[in-house]
Structure 1
Amino acid sequence: MPLDLVDLVPAPVSVEHGEGAFVLREATALAAGPGTEGVAHWLRSALGAALARPLPPGQPGAPDTVTLRLDAALAPEAYRLTVGTAAVELVGGGPAGVFWGAQTFRQLLGPDAYRRACADPGAERAVARQVVEDAPRFAWRGLMLDVSRHFMPKDGVLRYLDLLAAHKLNVFHFHLTDDQGWRVEIKRFPRLTEVGAWRSRTKYGHRASPLWTEEPHGGFYTQDDIREIVAYAAERHISVVPEIDIPGHSQAAIAAYPELGNTDVIDTTRLSVWDTWGVNPNVLAPTDNTLRFYEGVLEEILRLFPAATSPFVHIGGDECPKDQWKASATARARIEELGLAGEDELQSWFIRHFDRWLTERGRRLIGWDEILEGGLAPGAAVSSWRGYAGGIEAARAGHDVVMCPEQQVYLDHRQADGPDEPMPIGYVRTLEDVYRFEPVPSELTEAEARHVLGTQANVWTEVMRDQGRVDYQVFPRLAAFAEVAWSALPAPAARDFAGFERRMRAHYARLDALGVGYRPPGGPLPWQKRPAPEKMEGGLGRPIDGSPPNV
């Protein structure tokens, strides 16, 4: 059957249909072969309440049974789903492959399979006879969620992990610290959350005429919360990449511990958690005290994010103004002591230090493409966000790359240019724009392209006060991005966007069942629209000037 007639999102490698269907009955059993027990547990939990089918244990291959098993002949994330008229077999190269196949099986069962309770226990649950063979294009298929600018409570994070899993995305980049808030409990440094997790107000509105809400904002995840999030992600075969920003984007940390700042340049005791957006001039001091402090932070981070599920640690490294270092006698002395050429190399010294520190502990450092400035740390990987150039440079130098250029996959950017859109930011990037994104730059040779680990979409939350607004920005574009990350698509100009839109008609029903407040194809619904100026509370909803990004 042509893929554009199959309702699956993302599109699989191949689908072959036959006559008849498998009916999921109340007595249908689930047989879990060795190594698939975790997927079986998830499948029973997901489908049991939604479809009123308990899926008791059964015998592999028996009639009226869904059988899960592993086959080492397949790649670890590959699967083959065989739906017969009497039974179903789901085979994966590894547990992750079986899990992704289970997500496909769930899609085939219809939107009711995504509900939390069964709306119609007596309804027939039939799946057409077919064989789906599938495997991902990229190993890294991610979403970065910024919880520093606006905090998302734990239940919202768990919900987003489920949404990632439903779209076969396997990396959750957890942006935990920034100038506007520190969101993870560090027991040896309690002021990071006592002080650093809270700001007195929040900026909205036009850059030229800023407006603030006078409401304080904040929140953080306890260490038990983090352990729960990591375990929940692992059950869904999602790796969590924590981000702890250094040496820029650090005002929340400096507000909590002023000695971390450049105390010979400014009075850091007067700093508070930042209440606006953009590039902050207050950066970490290049001192041994700063190094020891962040080593202590990272020691606790490594315990919270085990290597088995979080091999990478993101250290930011972006948007680090050098003005304070240029004015600081301490920084100049450090540059002279280390024999560095200047402030760019001082930033590289920060990165290299933590690259060595993490490598010694069996982890890999990844940072935004500014870590290329002044010399790239030897073992570091790069998140290429300022277009393709950083990723190309890093790959040609033999470094691994995750492609996430702001011009294509920053989902905080506006989806349309109409007057009803919520507070817009950055470029217009439509659903079709995201669908035509190509993560591997054509300039790379075949050998260089192997350094492209994959791709991720980024969601910065400066203008997203709640989960509904995050939903609106992320969906349905995340579905298009997931297909780019998973499926072996042709060149961007040749992609069948019309076919994708047809498949999305079925997928919108799944998103409805999940309660996702996506942007409808025809534009925002009445409650999603930007309010008229006279109805704006404190100026909320007033558009920014459209310049990219950092508003």
Structure 2
Amino acid sequence: MVTKKYLSVLFILLLSIPILAKDKNRITIIPHPVSINTGEGVFSLNKSTSLITNTSDIKYIKIIKQFADEFNDITNASLVLKEPGNKKGDICFFIDTSLVSKIGNEGYKLKITRNKVIITAVNESGWFYAGRTLLQLIEQEKKKNKYHYFFPCVEIEDYPRFSWRGLMLDVSRHFFSKEELKSYIHQMAKYKFNIFHLHLTDNQGWRIEIKSLPNLTKVGAWRVPRTGYWKGFLPPQPGEETTYGGFYTHEDIKELVAFAKERNVTIIPEIDVPGHSLALIASYPELSCTKKPQQVLAGDPWNVSRTNVLCVSNDSVYDVLDKIVTELSMLFPSEYIHIGGDEVNRIYWKKCSSCQSLIKKQKLKDENELQTYFIQRLSNIVKSKGKKVIGWYENLPGGLIPEMTYMSWKDYKGGIIASQKGHKVVMTPAFFTYLDFYQGDPAMENGPFTVCRLSNCYAFNPEQKDAISSNILGGQGSLWTEQVPNERKLQYMTWPRGLALAEVLWSPQEKRDWSDFVTRMEAQFPKFEEYGINYSKAFYEPILHLEREDGELFLVIETEVSDLRIFYSFDDCSPDMYYPEYKKQKVKIPKGAHHIRAISYKNGQPIGREINISIQELLSRIPQ
């Protein structure tokens, strides 16, 4: 079993890493800074604490005021910025462009002494990230029924490992409101993510207003309401109204872009074509090879009768795409536009006489090269608007498109190949980064496909052997939302795996330490709870396996994290700390047992969910 094999390797690696001594004053920043030196004492805040800066540039002033607003919101304090030019203050924001060769454009230096806090950066991005670190460093103690706030004395030099530190959200399968997206972006920015990849279109919905093509939101943005597991959704019934869905207007997008920019986050829009296009085709059926009317579906559209692929030989398709890209280019100031390009069912082209004629006319070998032809033609449209092209890596015989950036999603291999051929690459291999995959025992989760545990995410490394490192922009986590119908589930699937990815993409590889990360991660949970952010505790839960030995069945239990005690039962009763404790030994399955229950304890308290799973289910997971 892949999960078991992976975890076994991980545990061996963890045993080889020295565990840092526990210290109540340990700095718990995520992601881990490049260098950090703790000092003695604290910088205490009081009513007279003030902010100063050595610049009057409005873009810098906005960053300081934003920090002050967030700090005041957390502490109920009243930090204010003194007039530029003031040389006396307590929290100082300085610009020093000479540091660019050392800390880059997103780096910063932070020095906290008993008397002063000094932030130094090359530009406002560095200030913003220093502010994120400071907000994580806030500590408090209660004195005379009042809270006293302070920063520990520390000196930090910090800058990111990668320029592309992203999260992708699919808003097609389920629509998320503008306010929900803002909340997601705000949470991302706390941990120094800087790219928000927005998957705006797919078979289940079209989510952005294109004024020149009104049917996209009149028809393509809506489907019949369904609840449950997406593969089992019934198709639309005769006369059933399409009331589920939504879309973002131009004004919504402008507001989101501005909100993200204030948090140093760039939004990358994606229009997924020529496959994954059922919502587009339902809006304009003439764009498909069959030209038959289609309906936006709630669930899985993988049925040949449901045409979800554009007709590559139809010039009207490119006219429509030109209109779409034109409006996207106006709305999104991002350097890139994502054009999808994955999982195309080419059977439609094989049956289309017009597409077959185009293959002959263009002297292409087959439908695979026809897909390359389409991507090249759409890429030219994108580039004509002054944008760069990015898409999902597909292993097509027609070769890679010149100047195109690729997202390697199936594994690392595609990204390695693309980098070797001179292409920029964003790594997002599913096994390590797909946040729609379940993160605990599959009997307890409804995530599709397979597992991506917290430890998988932390093991992600965008820089792979044989890849051209200078062409690796970075990486991202990708959250597809077939089984994510609301904001609470959205948060649960992202956090805390998003924390692991944040550290992978920002911190130096040599600073990565799983045990230390877990401790720092746990320090974030009270903040999550304070702000109502849902998160998963699946990483605490027992991982159950069965092994056969001499005709007998044995139970084996593993965990992702240490410092846990595991208690189990075979009698179908919920175990607690008075039940047998698993001691890293194989346990023989008693005769007649049909279910196994297990639960984790930490510091004398149960933590995570109780795992309740049948022996028959565990038997089915034993590799054949």
The verdict on how the C-alpha distance between 1:254 and 1:104 changes in structure 2, with shifts beyond 3 A counting, is same
TM-superposed CA distance for 1:260, in Å, is 1.1
User: Quick one: which of 507, 516, 522 aligns to 2:540?
Assistant: 522
SS of residue paired to 1:268: coil
Task: Report the counterpart of residue 279 of structure 2 in structure 1.
Answer: 252
Provide closer, same or farther for how the CA distance between residues 47 and 253 of structure 1 changes in structure 2, counting only shifts above 3 A. same
* Partner SS, residue 9 of structure 1: coil
Please state if 1:184 is matched with 2:205: no
Structure 2 match to 1:452: 472
Which amino acid in structure 1 is aligned with residue 355 of structure 2? A
Q: Is this contact kept in 2: 1:423–1:530, CA < 8 A?
A: no
Q: Deviations over 1:53-105 (max 9, x none)?
A: 23222266755521212221131011011112222111112211111110000
Specify which of 5, 9, 31 is matched with residue 52 of structure 2. Answer: 31
CA distance in 2, matches of 1:411, 1:432: 13
Q: Distance in 2 between matches of 1:373 and 1:508?
A: 48
The structure with more radius of gyration: 2
Question: Take 1:3 and 1:488, find their aligned partners in 2: how far apart are those partners?
Answer: 21
Tell me, which stretches of 5 or more residues in structure 2 are unaligned?
1-19, 542-598, 601-605, 613-619
Where does residue 432 of structure 1 map in the other structure?
455
In structure 1, the partner of 2:483 is 463
Q: Secondary structure of 2:378's match? A: helix
- Given candidates 311, 318, 323, the residue that maps to 1:285 is 311
Say if 1:348 and 1:371, in contact at 8 Å, map to a contact too.
Answer: no
* 1:303–1:157 distance in 2 versus 1, CA, 3 Å: same
The alignment of Structure 1 onto Structure 2 pairs a total of residues equal to 511
Shift of 1:205: 3.4
Residues in 1 aligned to 2:533 and 2:52: alpha-carbon distance in whole angstroms: 32
Provide closer, same or farther for how the CA distance between residues 371 and 362 of structure 1 changes in structure 2, counting only shifts above 3 A.
farther
1:278: how far off? 5.9
Q: Residue in 1 aligned with 2:16?
A: none
Taking a change above 3 Å as real, the CA distance of residues 376 and 125 of structure 1, as seen in their structure-2 partners, is same
Answer yes or no: is the 8 Å Cα contact 1:404–1:456 preserved in 2. Answer: yes
Of 492, 495, 519, the residue aligned with 1:502 is: 519
Distance 2:236 2:363 in 1: 47
Normalised to the residue count of structure 1, the TM-score between the two structures is 0.87
1:418, distance to aligned residue in structure 2 (A) = 5.4
1:198 aligns with 2:222: yes
Q: What is the letter of the counterpart of residue 443 of structure 1?
A: D
Match of 1:241 among 268, 273, 287: 268
Matches within 5 A, 1:480-491: 480-490=500-510
Cα gap change, 1:10 to 1:442, in 2 (>3 Å): same
Distance 2:236 2:86 in 1: 61
1:381 aligned partner: 405
In the TM superposition, what is the alpha-carbon distance from 1:280 to its structure 2 partner? 6.2
Amino acid of the structure 2 residue aligned with 1:272: Q
Q: For 1:66-465, what aligned pairs fall within 5 Å after superposition?
A: 66-72=91-97, 73-74=99-100, 75-110=104-139, 122-202=146-226, 204-205=228-229, 216-263=243-290, 267-269=291-293, 271-277=294-300, 279=302, 281=304, 282-286=308-312, 287-306=314-333, 310-370=334-394, 372-417=396-441, 419=443, 421-444=444-467, 448-465=468-485
Contact 2:173 2:298 survives alignment (8 Å)? no
Deviation for aligned residue 1:393: 1.1
- 1:12-70 deviations in Å (ceiling 9; x for gaps): 01111222211222332222434522211311221222222232222667555212122
- SS of alignment partner, residue 299 of structure 2: coil
Q: CA deviation at 1:371?
A: 6.9
Bigger CA drift: 369-378 or 246-255?
A: 369-378
Q: CA deviation at 1:172?
A: 0.3
- C-alpha separation between the residues in 2 aligned to 1:178 and 1:530? 36
What TM-score, normalized by structure 2, do the two folds share? 0.77
Query: C-alpha distance in 2, partners of 1:320/1:338?
Result: 20
Contact 1:181 1:273 in 2 (8 A): yes
How many Å apart are 1:477 and its aligned residue?
0.6
| Partner Cα separation in structure 1 for residue 507 and residue 50 of structure 2 | 31
Q: What is the rounded CA distance, in whole Å, between the counterparts of 1:69 and 1:60 in structure 2? A: 11
Equivalent residue for 2:497, pick from 469, 477, 482: 477
Distance in 2 of aligned mates of 1:333 and 1:369? 27
Identity in percent: 35
Corresponding letter in the other structure for 1:497:
W
Query: Any idea what the Cα deviations from partners look like across 1:445-493, whole Å, max 9, x if unmatched?
Result: xxx12111000000000001101111111111100111001000239xx
1:90 alignment partner, SS class? strand
Which amino acid in 1 is paired with 2:266? S
- CA shift in 2, pair 1:465/1:94, >3 Å: same
Cα deviation per residue 1:273-293 (whole Å; 9 max; x = unaligned)?
022126565200121100010
Paired letter, 1:460: W
1:111 to partner: Cα distance: 8.9
Q: Secondary structure at the match of 2:483?
A: coil
Deviations 1:117-151 (A, max 9, x none): xxx99421100111111010000000000000011
Per the TM alignment, residue 496 of structure 1 is displaced from its structure 2 partner at its CA by 2.1
